[in-house]
Amino acid sequence: MNRTAFLFAGQGAQYMGMGRDLSEAFPDEFARIRPAIDGLGIGLTEVCFDGPQERLTNTEYAQPGIYWVSWLARMALKKRLPELVPAATAGLSLGEFTALAVAGAYSFEDGLHIVHQRGKAMQKACESTSGGMAAIIGLERDTLGPICAEHDVTMANLNCPGQIVVSGATEAIQQVCVRATEAGARRAMPLDVAGAYHSPLMSPAAETLESVLEGMEIIPPAIPVISNVSARPHESAEDIRQALVDQVCSSVQWEDSIRFLIQSGITAFVELGPGKALSGFMKRIDKSVTVVNIEDAESLEKAVEILGNLS
């Protein structure tokens, strides 16, 4: 079977109803993780299934919600295709925490606790600062970088060629959008987000996460997990702790991470969890690789058919 990597989505992939279909199709797998989900005490399953959308969008709910749905998608794939063992994992921002859990760096339960605390801390940081993000389409990093530096704005997500998300103070983001358009960007769109993720404005959340991680048992993962910060595999447990803290305020090197995996011999990618954003990025990074997504029972069966035919 082709060398396969598992990918996990970040915040923004959430939608009302996510996880319902998989939980009904794989009740035993869902039953194994539901006690931990209910143990958060925030009615997370109900919010994921029925909303309201405003609550689901809140990072306190969105982050652990995406995490458990992504984990369940992995469990469902394992039941349907038990012989498929990933050669590596990676995740976009929040998804990196899922990738580490799947690779055995910590338990599902510990990961759920970590992302819940991370989500709460990031929501608090958003509410205490005036920040935002914007998607810049059609401008490469060499051109956009100096514009961002001039306005103290971070290139927060380097997703794929021609798509970069910037993050920083609200007024500075507006200025960067104007300058990017003048420099030739096809579109420069402020995003409907709560704050300036992956920028220095999130430093209070990074400090909180550092405290949370200090009390968690972390071990080196059983397979390579790509760090958002370095676009290279994590090494020691201490490296994982530091990278996850740094990630809160640092750029997500997603395009470079995927290129590293392809250069390492990965020929097929499975996006696990809500949405298809990562599959969309992949089409702009390298169209030659196989990409499937799994977010419900229907997409699972399509993915199993494709993956089962790989040799």
Provide the CB-side half-sphere exposure for 71 (13 A, CA).
31
- Angle at which helix 59-80 crosses helix 297-308, to 10 degrees, equals 40
Cα-based angle 263, 276, 311 (whole degrees, multiple of 5): 45
Specify the DSSP class assigned to residue 159.
Answer: E
Report H helices in the chain.
20-25, 27-39, 44-50, 53-57, 59-80, 94-102, 108-128, 141-150, 170-182, 203-214, 237-247, 254-263, 277-285, 297-308
Which helix (H) or strand (E) segment holds residue 5: the answer is strand 4-8
- Which one is catalytic: 113, 116, 198, 234? 198
Is 113 marked active-site?
Answer: no
Joined together, the tokens standing for residue 73 give 């998608």
Phi, psi values for residue 237, rounded to 5°: -60, -40
Measuring CA to CA, which residue among 117, 120, 93 is closest to residue 248? 93
Quick check: is 93 catalytic? yes
Catalytic residue among 93, 227, 230, 251: 93
Given a contact cutoff of 8 angstroms between Cβ atoms, the answer to whether 249 and 262 are in contact is no
CA 164, 148, 252, 54 dihedral sign is: negative
Q: Which residues are catalytic, by number?
A: 93, 198
